[in-house]
Amino acid sequence: MFEVTKKEAPSKRKPFNRPVEANWWTRKKFYTLYMLRESSVLFAMLFALELLAGMICAATGNDKSCLVSWINFMAAWPVKIVNVVGLFAVLYHTYTWFNLMPKAQRLMVKGEPLPGSFVKISLYGALLITSLVVVAVASLGLLTI
């Protein structure tokens, strides 16, 4: 029957919008290191795309010209430099992520939290074992194209 509408009075105040400069992250070391860690994903993405191109070339079957051209591309100096920089970027990302992990997710065993050092050592151990398996498979030639 009766419709009640709430009509707000127009405000004469302007909303406060704090200005943000483009270099806000250079003011504190913590923010700078954070931005470096987050930008390391660009190098990881480039490397993943390189590997994807290699897998596509390897999957073409009998035509080895694609694979040969991919190997020649990977042997170029600019690609090697980008891959080495990418390796250090991903290692830095891994280091910071492993140090962050005990703070981001608390693991409980029998109602007690696991010490952060145990979580970090477990992560580094898993990384070492995985890396050794990959190196062993690659050096023994267990996977062939």
User: 116-140 vs 77-104: helix axis angle to the nearest 10?
Assistant: 150
Q: Which among 74, 75, 77, 69 is positioned nearest to 51, based on CA atoms? A: 74
pTM beyond 0.75: no
pLDDT (average), residues 66-92: 91
In the beta sheet, which residues pair with residue 113?
Answer: 108
φ, ψ for residue 113, nearest 5 deg: -75, 140
CATH no. of 26-89: 1.20.1300.10
* 145, pLDDT greater than 80: no
State the average pLDDT for the chain.
86
